[in-house]
Protein backbone atom coordinates (compact mmCIF):
# COMPACT_ATOMS: atom_id res chain seq x y z
CA UNK A 1 0.00 0.00 0.00
CA UNK A 2 1.21 3.48 -0.70
CA UNK A 3 0.30 5.97 2.02
CA UNK A 4 -0.35 5.39 5.70
CA UNK A 5 -3.64 3.70 6.45
CA UNK A 6 -6.11 5.52 8.63
CA UNK A 7 -6.82 4.35 12.16
CA UNK A 8 -9.57 2.00 10.95
CA UNK A 9 -7.65 0.76 7.92
CA UNK A 10 -9.54 3.22 5.74
CA UNK A 11 -8.21 4.19 2.32
CA UNK A 12 -6.93 7.76 2.61
CA UNK A 13 -8.23 9.90 -0.25
CA UNK A 14 -7.48 13.40 -1.56
CA UNK A 15 -10.05 14.94 -3.92
CA UNK A 16 -8.77 17.51 -6.44
CA UNK A 17 -11.41 19.30 -8.51
CA UNK A 18 -12.02 23.00 -9.13
CA UNK A 19 -15.79 22.69 -8.63
CA UNK A 20 -16.85 22.76 -4.95
CA UNK A 21 -20.10 20.90 -5.67
CA UNK A 22 -18.15 18.05 -7.30
CA UNK A 23 -15.77 17.83 -4.34
CA UNK A 24 -18.71 17.84 -1.90
CA UNK A 25 -20.52 15.13 -3.84
CA UNK A 26 -17.45 12.92 -4.05
CA UNK A 27 -16.68 13.43 -0.36
CA UNK A 28 -20.22 12.35 0.48
CA UNK A 29 -20.03 9.22 -1.67
CA UNK A 30 -16.69 8.09 -0.27
CA UNK A 31 -17.31 8.93 3.38
CA UNK A 32 -20.73 7.22 3.31
CA UNK A 33 -19.12 3.93 2.25
CA UNK A 34 -17.29 3.62 5.56
CA UNK A 35 -13.97 2.39 4.19
CA UNK A 36 -12.56 5.73 2.99
CA UNK A 37 -11.17 8.72 4.83
CA UNK A 38 -11.15 11.93 2.79
CA UNK A 39 -8.01 13.53 4.18
CA UNK A 40 -8.19 16.68 2.08
CA UNK A 41 -9.45 18.57 -0.93
CA UNK A 42 -7.82 20.80 -3.52
CA UNK A 43 -9.35 23.36 -5.88
CA UNK A 44 -6.43 23.51 -8.33
CA UNK A 45 -3.43 21.47 -9.43
CA UNK A 46 -0.90 23.34 -7.28
CA UNK A 47 -3.00 22.77 -4.14
CA UNK A 48 -3.35 19.11 -5.09
CA UNK A 49 0.42 18.66 -5.28
CA UNK A 50 1.07 20.53 -2.03
CA UNK A 51 -1.68 18.75 -0.10
CA UNK A 52 -0.74 15.32 -1.42
CA UNK A 53 2.88 15.90 -0.41
CA UNK A 54 1.82 16.99 3.09
CA UNK A 55 -1.05 14.54 3.72
CA UNK A 56 0.33 11.43 1.97
CA UNK A 57 -3.01 9.94 0.86
CA UNK A 58 -3.26 6.45 -0.59
CA UNK A 59 -5.17 7.73 -3.63
CA UNK A 60 -5.62 11.13 -5.28
CA UNK A 61 -8.71 11.73 -7.42
CA UNK A 62 -7.43 14.32 -9.92
CA UNK A 63 -9.54 16.41 -12.28
CA UNK A 64 -7.62 17.13 -15.49
CA UNK A 65 -8.94 20.61 -16.20
CA UNK A 66 -8.10 22.82 -13.25
CA UNK A 67 -6.70 26.34 -12.85
CA UNK A 68 -3.16 27.26 -11.76
CA UNK A 69 -1.78 23.82 -12.70
CA UNK A 70 -3.64 21.34 -14.91
CA UNK A 71 -4.08 17.71 -13.86
CA UNK A 72 -1.39 16.22 -16.12
CA UNK A 73 1.18 18.76 -14.89
CA UNK A 74 0.11 18.10 -11.31
CA UNK A 75 0.61 14.34 -11.80
CA UNK A 76 4.13 14.99 -13.11
CA UNK A 77 4.83 17.28 -10.13
CA UNK A 78 3.65 14.58 -7.71
CA UNK A 79 6.15 12.14 -9.20
CA UNK A 80 8.93 14.74 -9.06
CA UNK A 81 8.20 15.33 -5.36
CA UNK A 82 8.26 11.60 -4.62
CA UNK A 83 4.58 11.34 -3.70
CA UNK A 84 3.71 7.65 -3.90
CA UNK A 85 -0.09 7.99 -3.87
CA UNK A 86 -1.93 6.29 -6.70
CA UNK A 87 -3.58 8.91 -8.93
CA UNK A 88 -6.92 8.35 -10.60
CA UNK A 89 -7.94 10.89 -13.19
CA UNK A 90 -11.49 12.25 -13.09
CA UNK A 91 -12.76 13.02 -16.56
CA UNK A 92 -16.04 13.80 -18.26
CA UNK A 93 -15.40 11.77 -21.42
CA UNK A 94 -13.42 8.58 -21.91
CA UNK A 95 -12.26 10.02 -25.23
CA UNK A 96 -10.61 12.93 -23.45
CA UNK A 97 -7.30 13.47 -25.22
CA UNK A 98 -5.65 14.23 -21.87
CA UNK A 99 -6.28 10.76 -20.41
CA UNK A 100 -3.37 9.06 -22.19
CA UNK A 101 -0.87 11.84 -21.29
CA UNK A 102 -2.12 11.61 -17.69
CA UNK A 103 -1.43 7.87 -17.57
CA UNK A 104 1.94 8.44 -19.22
CA UNK A 105 2.67 11.04 -16.52
CA UNK A 106 2.00 8.43 -13.84
CA UNK A 107 -1.75 8.13 -13.29
CA UNK A 108 -2.93 4.65 -12.36
CA UNK A 109 -6.09 5.01 -14.42
CA UNK A 110 -9.19 7.10 -14.84
CA UNK A 111 -12.81 7.32 -13.74
CA UNK A 112 -15.69 9.01 -15.51
CA UNK A 113 -17.40 11.74 -13.51
CA UNK A 114 -20.81 10.38 -14.44
CA UNK A 115 -20.03 6.86 -13.20
CA UNK A 116 -22.44 5.39 -10.66
CA UNK A 117 -21.17 5.66 -7.06
CA UNK A 118 -20.43 1.92 -6.80
CA UNK A 119 -18.10 2.15 -9.83
CA UNK A 120 -16.27 5.11 -8.30
CA UNK A 121 -15.82 3.20 -5.05
CA UNK A 122 -14.65 0.07 -6.85
CA UNK A 123 -12.19 2.04 -8.99
CA UNK A 124 -10.57 3.78 -6.03
CA UNK A 125 -10.39 0.53 -4.05
CA UNK A 126 -8.66 -1.15 -7.01
CA UNK A 127 -6.18 1.72 -7.36
CA UNK A 128 -5.34 1.53 -3.66
CA UNK A 129 -4.52 -2.16 -4.12
CA UNK A 130 -2.15 -1.57 -7.12
CA UNK A 131 1.10 -3.63 -6.46
CA UNK A 132 4.68 -2.35 -6.59
CA UNK A 133 7.32 -4.75 -7.95
CA UNK A 134 8.20 -5.79 -4.40
CA UNK A 135 4.53 -6.34 -3.45
CA UNK A 136 3.86 -8.30 -6.66
CA UNK A 137 6.89 -10.50 -5.98
CA UNK A 138 5.74 -11.27 -2.45
CA UNK A 139 2.19 -11.96 -3.63
CA UNK A 140 3.35 -14.30 -6.42
CA UNK A 141 6.14 -15.96 -4.39
CA UNK A 142 8.80 -14.98 -6.92
CA UNK A 143 11.77 -12.64 -6.70
CA UNK A 144 11.51 -8.92 -7.31
CA UNK A 145 14.09 -9.39 -10.10
CA UNK A 146 11.72 -11.83 -11.83
CA UNK A 147 8.88 -9.31 -11.66
CA UNK A 148 11.18 -6.66 -13.15
CA UNK A 149 12.23 -9.05 -15.93
CA UNK A 150 8.61 -9.83 -16.84
CA UNK A 151 7.78 -6.11 -16.78
CA UNK A 152 10.75 -5.33 -19.05
CA UNK A 153 9.59 -7.99 -21.53
CA UNK A 154 6.12 -6.43 -21.57
CA UNK A 155 7.61 -2.97 -22.10
CA UNK A 156 9.73 -4.28 -24.98
CA UNK A 157 6.76 -5.93 -26.68
CA UNK A 158 4.69 -2.76 -26.33
CA UNK A 159 7.56 -0.46 -27.32
CA UNK A 160 7.41 1.56 -24.08
CA UNK A 161 9.78 2.42 -21.23
CA UNK A 162 7.72 2.19 -18.04
CA UNK A 163 4.61 0.84 -16.34
CA UNK A 164 2.50 3.96 -16.86
CA UNK A 165 3.26 3.98 -20.59
CA UNK A 166 2.45 0.26 -20.76
CA UNK A 167 -0.98 0.96 -19.24
CA UNK A 168 -1.58 3.85 -21.64
CA UNK A 169 -0.59 1.71 -24.62
CA UNK A 170 -2.78 -1.12 -23.34
CA UNK A 171 -5.78 1.22 -23.36
CA UNK A 172 -4.90 2.63 -26.79
CA UNK A 173 -4.62 -0.84 -28.33
CA UNK A 174 -7.70 -2.22 -26.61
CA UNK A 175 -5.64 -4.71 -24.60
CA UNK A 176 -7.04 -3.43 -21.31
CA UNK A 177 -10.75 -3.04 -20.59
CA UNK A 178 -12.08 0.46 -20.04
CA UNK A 179 -13.05 1.05 -16.41
DSSP string covering 13-39: EEEE-S-HHHHHHHHHHHHHHSSEEEE
Element (H, E) at 153: helix 144-158
3-state secondary structure 48-88: HHHHHHHHCCCEEEEECCCCCCCHHHHHHHHHHCCCCCEEE
What is the pLDDT at residue 25? 95
For the chain (179 residues), the mean pLDDT of every run of 10, in chain order, is: 54 96 96 95 97 96 93 93 90 71 81 86 83 77 83 82 70 70
Residue range 11-128 in CATH 3.40.50.2300: yes
Q: In angstroms, how far is the first alpha carbon of the chain from the final one?
A: 21
Handedness of CA 43, 51, 59, 13 (dihedral sign): negative
Domain spans of the chain, in order of start: 11-128, 133-172
What is the pLDDT at residue 154? 83
Burial class (CB in 10 A: 0-12, 13-18, 19+), 80: exposed
Amino acid sequence: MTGTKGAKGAIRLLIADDHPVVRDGLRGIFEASGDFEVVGEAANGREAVDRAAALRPDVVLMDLRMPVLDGVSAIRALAERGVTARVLVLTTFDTDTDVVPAVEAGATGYLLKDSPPDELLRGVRAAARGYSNREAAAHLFISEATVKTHALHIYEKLGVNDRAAAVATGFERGLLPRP
